[in-house]
């Protein structure tokens, strides 16, 4: 409704907005195109404008105006999600939170920060004070902390600290609701589950309090192995070593390696890789383990240096979903899966899946802790043929006891990694967003009390 939109823009006063359709479309998209299914479903979705608040008060003001005018609001951080989390399904406004980027405080191994702060900027400031982020996605150089908690799950650091939804990894969240007038809530401890991985459907997160890890001078290590399972077994043994500080343990199949720029030049054809981030204190034991498992260290570099030197790429940008991105730069037809192998003997099932699917699913493993137990997730590359075959591949995994977080759906319920949160996010949404104007369509079973348009004055 153009009148409602005009009234909304006027009510925003001097809060910056973007109205140029090309820019608005650009900020209405994320990395959903990794999935051919989501690409088909979401490609044409766009908001009508982007609102860029600079303070929490401006967020509250925006939410009050959105309620009055019946405008949908889809929050956005860095826009790096893979499941269309930040794509507005029903128009309205994209709420770009990237200007809320202040650090409130850092003390006692904790930080309180505004939600739009970029992870790379946070880590730099934390490091000056002797701390670092416990975990971050491989999109650290572009993603925000609010987007990670609201739309991400785990990543670099999860080998030690588990995922964002493991108890203790989020201490508190400040949330602005979609009510008249909007409330500012402080959720603490397990209450933060109400906004964790909720895609912004249960409130706009304006501040977060998170625990930190002691800063380390991480080494980027690449180890080459003649065989994939040999590399995977080495990774499992290494990951289980309590005496070695680790930030990343990844196994990459030899068929993926030709797509990994720089790395492919370090190894012989047919070799599989272990990509690691290891603390300097672990290097002696690492060298012994590598030799015992028949591997060879082919790269040893300083992670931080690669992160900040222009033209150079930190090793973590070859891992997690960056492996898929690297493959996609060479072959636009591939996509990926997100699977979790059971902690009891994960590699037996890895081997079985490799036998079943062969080169249709080049294997890529990320070792991590889930609820404290060491296991591995597969972010297998899928040589995509049809949506029916993709569904069949998922179903064969599930029949074999491999859990799938389907990266080809945009709703929270079916989507990536949601299965582990028992909390009643829908009940909370009824309280804090009764009209359903927050990222509508993403919480599959939510039915609003009345349509936002009926609310518009």
Chain residues that interact with ligand FAD, rule: CB under 6 A: 30-31, 74-82, 85-86, 97, 115, 137-139, 143-144, 146-148, 150-155, 199-200, 204-205, 320-322, 325, 439
CB of 297 to ligand FAD, least distance (A): 24
Residue 173: closest CA among 122, 207, 134, 212: 207
The answer to whether the CB of 316 falls within 8 A of the CB of 143 is: no
CB of 353 to ligand FAD, least distance (A): 21
CA atoms within 13 A on the CB side of 29: 16
CB of 152 to ligand FAD, least distance (A): 3
The answer to whether the CB of 150 falls within 8 A of the CB of 200 is: yes
Nearer to ligand FAD, 145 or 304 (CB): 145
Residue 270: closest CA among 249, 256, 291, 250: 256
**From CA 77, how far away is CA 99, in angstroms rounded?**
9
Please state at what angle helix 2-11 crosses helix 56-69, rounded to 10 degrees: 150
Nearer to ligand FAD, 254 or 416 (CB): 416
Nearer to ligand FAD, 411 or 439 (CB): 439
**From CA 272, how far away is CA 44, in angstroms rounded?**
39
Nearer to ligand FAD, 202 or 272 (CB): 202
CB of 335 to ligand FAD, least distance (A): 13
Which residue is at the shortest CB distance from ligand FAD? 147
Nearer to ligand FAD, 63 or 290 (CB): 63
Nearer to ligand FAD, 137 or 452 (CB): 137
Residue 61: closest CA among 28, 13, 18, 17: 13
The answer to whether the CB of 47 falls within 8 A of the CB of 18 is: no
The answer to whether the CB of 165 falls within 8 A of the CB of 420 is: yes
State in Å, rounded, how far the first CA of the chain is from the last one. 12
Nearer to ligand FAD, 174 or 254 (CB): 174
**From CA 443, how far away is CA 215, in angstroms rounded?**
37
**From CA 21, how far away is CA 32, in angstroms rounded?**
20
Torsion sign across C-alpha atoms 207, 208, 213, 219: negative
Nearer to ligand FAD, 322 or 354 (CB): 322
Nearer to ligand FAD, 224 or 275 (CB): 275
CB of 46 to ligand FAD, least distance (A): 15
Query: Which residue matches tokens 């060298």?
Result: 287
**From CA 337, how far away is CA 395, in angstroms rounded?**
12
CB of 105 to ligand FAD, least distance (A): 19
DSSP label at residue 215: -
Mention every residue, 6+ apart, whose C-beta is less than 8 A from residue 46.
21, 24, 25, 28, 88, 91
Take residue 35 and report the two structure tokens written for it.
């999935």
Nearer to ligand FAD, 162 or 200 (CB): 200
CB of 294 to ligand FAD, least distance (A): 29
Nearer to ligand FAD, 9 or 94 (CB): 94
Reduced to 3 states (helix: H, G, I; strand: E, B; else coil), residue 340 is strand
Parallel, antiparallel or unpaired: strands 93-96 and 73-76: parallel
The answer to whether the CB of 74 falls within 8 A of the CB of 92 is: yes
Q: Which phi and psi (to 5°) does residue 419 adopt?
A: -60, -20
The answer to whether the CB of 423 falls within 8 A of the CB of 194 is: yes
Nearer to ligand FAD, 175 or 290 (CB): 175
């Amino acid at each position: 409704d153009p009148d409602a939109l005009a009234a909304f823009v006027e009510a925003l006063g001097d809060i910056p907005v973007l109205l140029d359709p090309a820019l608005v479309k650009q900020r209405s998209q994320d990395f959903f195109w990794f999935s051919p299914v989501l690409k088909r479903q979401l490609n044409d979705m766009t908001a009508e404008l982007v609102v860029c608040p600079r303070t929490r008060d401006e967020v509250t003001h925006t939410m009050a105006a959105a309620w009055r005018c019946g405008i949908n609001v889809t929050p956005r951080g860095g826009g790096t999600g893979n499941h269309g989390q930040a794509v507005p399904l029903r128009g309205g406004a994209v709420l770009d939170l990237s200007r809320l980027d202040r650090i409130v405080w850092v003390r006692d191994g904790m930080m309180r920060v505004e939600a739009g702060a970029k992870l790379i900027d946070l880590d730099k400031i934390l490091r000056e004070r002797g701390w670092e982020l416990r975990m971050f996605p491989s999109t650290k150089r572009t993603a925000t902390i609010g987007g990670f908690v609201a739309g991400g799950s785990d990543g670099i650091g999860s080998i030690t600290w588990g995922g964002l939804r493991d108890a203790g990894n989020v201490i508190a969240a400040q949330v602005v609701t979609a009510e008249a007038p909007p409330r500012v809530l402080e959720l603490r401890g397990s209450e933060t589950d109400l906004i964790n991985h909720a895609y912004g459907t249960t409130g706009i997160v304006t501040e977060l309090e998170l625990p930190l890890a002691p800063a380390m001078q991480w080494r980027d290590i690449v180890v080459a192995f003649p065989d994939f399972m040999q590399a995977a077994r080495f990774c499992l043994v290494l990951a289980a070593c309590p005496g070695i500080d680790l930030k990343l343990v990844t196994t990459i199949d030899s068929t993926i390696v030709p797509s990994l720029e720089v790395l492919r030049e370090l190894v012989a054809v047919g070799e599989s890789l272990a990509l690691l981030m290891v603390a300097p204190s672990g290097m002696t034991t690492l060298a012994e383990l590598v030799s015992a498992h028949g591997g060879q260290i082919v790269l040893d570099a300083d992670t931080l240096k690669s992160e900040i030197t222009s033209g150079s790429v930190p090793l973590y940008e070859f891992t997690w979903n960056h492996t898929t991105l690297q493959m996609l730069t060479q072959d636009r037809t591939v996509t990926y899966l997100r699977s979790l192998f059971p902690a009891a003997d994960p590699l037996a099932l890895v081997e079985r899946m490799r036998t079943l699917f062969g080169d249709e699913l080049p294997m890529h493993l990320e070792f991590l802790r889930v609820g404290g137990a060491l296991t591995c997730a597969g972010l297998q590359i899928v040589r995509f043929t049809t949506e029916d075959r993709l569904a069949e591949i998922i179903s064969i995994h599930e029949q074999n006891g491999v859990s799938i977080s389907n990266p080809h759906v945009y709703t929270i319920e079916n989507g990536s990694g949601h299965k582990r949160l028992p909390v009643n996010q829908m009940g909370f949404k009824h309280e804090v967003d009764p009209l359903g104007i927050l990222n509508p369509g993403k919480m599959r079973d939510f039915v609003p009390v009345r349509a936002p348009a009926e609310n518009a004055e």
